[in-house]
Chain A
């Protein structure tokens, strides 16, 4: 994966989380993982197709998800509230939408698919991606994980342009 693909997602996560939580955040950890991904709590997975394809997962421990959702909603939400799951999906939508806007204005064309919700309660579900960048953002409400597995589409003219 090339950094030019990843950076817009990091910037978007920083902007969306900082604004929504009204506090600064930092990248606590960054690693490459080749094993199938196991969800940690409440996770929203969004797939991209087009010049760039793959998927991005936003994953929060249940307590963190409730705290973040409460912050965004402006009211205290219990972990079990359906709005908590909705909030994680909307958060993922906003981060990915903002990043996609930047990449699209750079000439990349793709489609963003609606988010799919996963929870750790559903069992050890995993994705089949072989290489993903995992970022852990440290926020005042807890850790927010973003797992990015993206690649240039093989037949895309953008791949040639990018030298992939």
Chain B
């Protein structure tokens, strides 16, 4: 898999921490591989919206990657509940069901961005940088292995 210049947290230079939420184990593993190619760290996983809320509270990751169609509680509702409690939470929806109505609903209810599946690493990479804004910094190649 293509390697990207690592994106680090600007406050402490540490890897960006991610919570991956998807009911498919395969999708979670796939996203995890992509995140690692960005120099990120997967600190937690959840298979449904309810677990995502409790895992967010426990782990306080920098970014949540959230699927939409899931059992128990769907991703848009979970994103809304996370953002209601923690307005600074950065939730990026990652779903194959990328129709306009869904995208608008997700953004209106607190998601910061939307990425269509199948995920193109280069697209997610740009979205991550955009969503982190000044809280993220792209490390140069020399410091990547440090």
Q: Is the CB of B25 within 8 A of A86?
A: yes
* Nearest CB on B from A94, distance (A): 4
* Nearest CB on A from B98, distance (A): 5
B51 contacts chain A at the CB level, 8 A cutoff:
no
Chain B residues with CB under 8 A of A97: 69, 95-98, 117
- Distance in angstroms between the alpha carbons of A102 and B101 in the assembled complex: 11
Q: Is the CB of B71 within 8 A of A114?
A: yes
- Distance in angstroms between the alpha carbons of A19 and B26 in the assembled complex: 17
Q: Is the CB of A101 within 8 A of B97?
A: yes
Chain A residues with CB under 8 A of B117: 93-94, 97-98
Chain A residues with CB under 8 A of B95: 97
Chain B residues with CB under 8 A of A83: 25-26, 29
- 0/1 per residue, A94-124, Cβ < 8 Å to B? 1111101110110000001010000000000
Q: Is the CB of B96 within 8 A of A87?
A: no
- Distance in angstroms between the alpha carbons of A19 and B120 in the assembled complex: 9
B24 contacts chain A at the CB level, 8 A cutoff:
yes
* Nearest CB on A from B24, distance (A): 5
In this complex, how many residues of chain A approach chain B with their Cβ under 8 Å: the count is 26
Q: For this complex, into which size category does the number of interface residues on chain B fall?
A: 20 to 34
Q: Is the CB of A104 within 8 A of B99?
A: yes
Chain A residues with CB under 8 A of B71: 114
Q: Which of A49-57, A67-75, A138-146, A154-162 contacts B (4 or more CB under 8 A)?
A: A67-75
B75-89: which residues lie under 8 A (CB-CB) from chain A?
Answer: none
* Nearest CB on A from B29, distance (A): 7
Q: Is the CB of B27 within 8 A of A90?
A: yes
| Secondary structure dominating the interface of A | helix
Chain B residues with CB under 8 A of A102: 99
Q: Which of A74, A90, A98 contacts B98 (CB 8 A)?
A: A98
Chain A residues with CB under 8 A of B33: 74
Q: Is the CB of B26 within 8 A of A98?
A: no
Q: Is the CB of A73 within 8 A of B118?
A: no
Chain A residues with CB under 8 A of B27: 86, 90, 93
Q: Is the CB of B24 within 8 A of A89?
A: yes
Closest chain A residue to B95 by CB distance? A97
Interface residues of A (CB under 8 A from B): 16, 19-20, 69, 72-74, 82-83, 86-87, 89-90, 93-98, 100-102, 104-105, 112, 114
Interface residues of B (CB under 8 A from A): 1, 23-27, 29-30, 33, 69, 71, 95-102, 116-118, 120
